[in-house]
Amino acid sequence: MCKTIAQRNVEYTALRVSIAEALLLAMHDDLSEDGYIEQKDAYVRLLQKCVFPALGVDSELQQALDAWVHFRQYLQSGDDATLVQVRKCLKIQPDATSRNGGALPKKSNGGALAQAASQAVYCAMQKHLVTSLCDFFHEYTGAEQLAGVLDIAMFVASGMGRDELQTLMRFIMASLEHHLERLWAKASEEVAAEQAKDGDETAELDDSSVAKMLTAFAVSVQAR
């Protein structure tokens, strides 16, 4: 069955973006000390001067793809230095109050390609971030790493037209729920162990057990 012109254009666009993504990924080297190939800067300049214009990749689309490539590297390595690079690619300022949702280009010289590809990149990043941030007590052990991930999530959420405060509250409430469920399960296991030890099948969670659970929860929150 013959494909329509529109279908061919979609496939061609996807191919162009995939090629650009692969070329940006090629500058990474997991075996090197800084995580990049030698002559990385010269390689990127060559892409910007000779390759990306032919692919129809403008600076805004490159920014989005570069952020996505670094973000993928962070998901694989968990390296805080890579997380810092994601922030740089998104041009997130150190002061969180400077966020203005500018990550998503409203107007782009690349037209529909830059707009659609950038939207797809940030939606993909948001999807991964939501999964981990809805249980951040379990996913992140360091306050600095959590702060960096939250900053990226808030920046992307703002750029996608979502309310930052509501997004943050969603993460907090979901994470608290998951954490309380784990603490409750642990307390229940302790009661079951006491039952088996004493041969008492009527033992239940008493006020002391609940108080211990809530104390453990408060300590874990303060630690973060």
The confidence score (pLDDT) of residue 51 equals 93
pTM comes to 0.66
DSSP state for residue 100 in the 8-state scheme: -
Query: What's the pLDDT score for residue 201?
Result: 54
User: What was the pLDDT predicted at 47?
Assistant: 94
180-215 tens-digit pLDDT: 888 888 877 777 777 777 665 555 555 565 555 556
Q: Give the pLDDT of residue 199.
A: 63
Q: How far apart are the first and last CA of the chain?
A: 58
Please report how many Cα atoms fall inside a 13 Å half-sphere around the Cα of residue 112, on the Cβ side: 4
Contact predicate 140/130, CB 8 Å = no
List the chain domain ranges. 5-162, 174-224
pLDDT at position 22, please?
92
- Residue ranges in the chain modelled with pLDDT below 50: 96-109, 224
CB 111 within 8 A of CB 142: no
In this structure, what is the dihedral angle of CA atoms 27, 29, 30, 36, given to the nearest 10 degrees?
-70
Distances (CA, A) of 13 to 4, 39, 132: 14, 29, 31
